[in-house]
Amino acid sequence: MRTNLIHVGCRAAEVVLLCAIVAAPGCERSTTKVELQKQVDALQVENKALKREAEKHRADIERLESQVANLQTFSDPAGAKMFAPVRLEILSLSRGADYDGAPGDDGVTVHFRPLDAEGNVVTVGGRISVQVVDNSVMGEPRVVALVELSDPKEVKEAWHSKFLTNQYTVKCRFPQDQPRPVARRLDVKVAFVDYLTGNPLQASRTVDFTPDPGAESSEARSSETLAKDDERPKSPVSADPP
């Protein structure tokens, strides 16, 4: 802002210089005077615009300096401790969702909200990361969906506060090139870093999920085949002749 003020002063000096040239007795050609007068007029218009911009910047500087002075008198600048979120709550409405209309869920819709120390919902933006994990295979967790929101516009669109709603809603679609989970329960993990304090918050919850009936049948047939193979009598191993 202070650089812009210096720029205004330089442009004003140019206007004065050109005015002096126009008024000088040595400039006899009328065409030269006309051209110089056009330049003077253009610079005067620009000078007025720059002066208005400079006044605006001065007002902005004074306003910011006043805000800084006020914040320095507070024991808790920005009221971070008073209204900052301290935990996340994943709502029970979170569950598998059918986005394409085909049999079986093809994603999970997650609803969550930041809460303050008193348990009140806090309307605050922040970076969002939502993972959907399939833990059906013991010791081999598999991330089946991941959504990350960091753009303020996307974060704002994910926030819902109408018709008694007051939470973030994130739709986690399964990638088309990955096999869908067959378990009926999936784990949801939410990470949130609010823009107010930068404090990272996390929460997790197990949600219901309706797998694709075709995939579920294939899984059942595979399990049945393995069970039958285990039940078949194994041929005795013949001993070598002495």
The full set of domain ranges for the chain reads 2-67, 82-226
Q: What is the dihedral of CA 91, 201, 146, 149, to 10 degrees?
A: 100
Minimum mean pLDDT range among 160-169, 186-195, 233-242: 233-242
C-alpha 238/C-alpha 241 separation (Å) is 9
Helix H or strand E segment including 151? none
Q: Which residues contact 135 (CB under 8 A, 6 or more apart)?
A: 141, 142, 183, 186, 187
Long-range contacts: 80-83, Cβ < 8 Å, 24+?
A: 80/196, 80/197, 83/116, 83/122, 83/124, 83/196
Q: What is the pLDDT of residue 108?
A: 97
C-alpha 122/C-alpha 215 separation (Å) is 41
Task: Give the mean pLDDT of the chain.
Answer: 80
* Distance of alpha carbon 156 from the chain centroid: 8
Q: What is the pLDDT of residues 171-226, one digit of tens each?
A: 999 998 888 888 899 999 999 999 888 889 999 999 999 988 876 555 444 444 44
- Which residues are bridge partners to 190 per DSSP? 130, 203
User: Residue 24 in contact with residue 15, Cβ under 8 Å?
Assistant: no
Q: What is the pLDDT of residue 186?
A: 96
Q: What is the pLDDT of residues 54-71, one digit of tens each?
A: 999 999 999 888 888 876
Q: What is the pLDDT of residue 26?
A: 52
Q: What is the pLDDT of residues 80-92, one digit of tens each?
A: 567 789 999 999 9
Query: Mean pLDDT, to the nearest integer, of 36-60?
Result: 89
Q: Which of 18-27, 156-165, 183-192 has the highest mean pLDDT?
A: 183-192
Q: What is the pLDDT of residue 33?
A: 80
Q: What is the pLDDT of residue 175?
A: 93
User: Residue 145 in contact with residue 174, Cβ under 8 Å?
Assistant: yes
Which residue, chain included where needed, has tokens 């399939």? 134
Residue predicted with more confidence, 57 or 163: 57
Q: What is the dihedral of CA 115, 116, 118, 120, to 10 degrees?
A: -50
CATH architecture of 82-226: Sandwich (2.60)
Sign of CA dihedral 183, 189, 173, 159: positive
Q: What is the pLDDT of residue 4?
A: 53
Q: What is the pLDDT of residues 122-153, one digit of tens each?
A: 999 999 999 999 998 888 999 999 999 999 99
Q: What is the pLDDT of residue 222?
A: 45
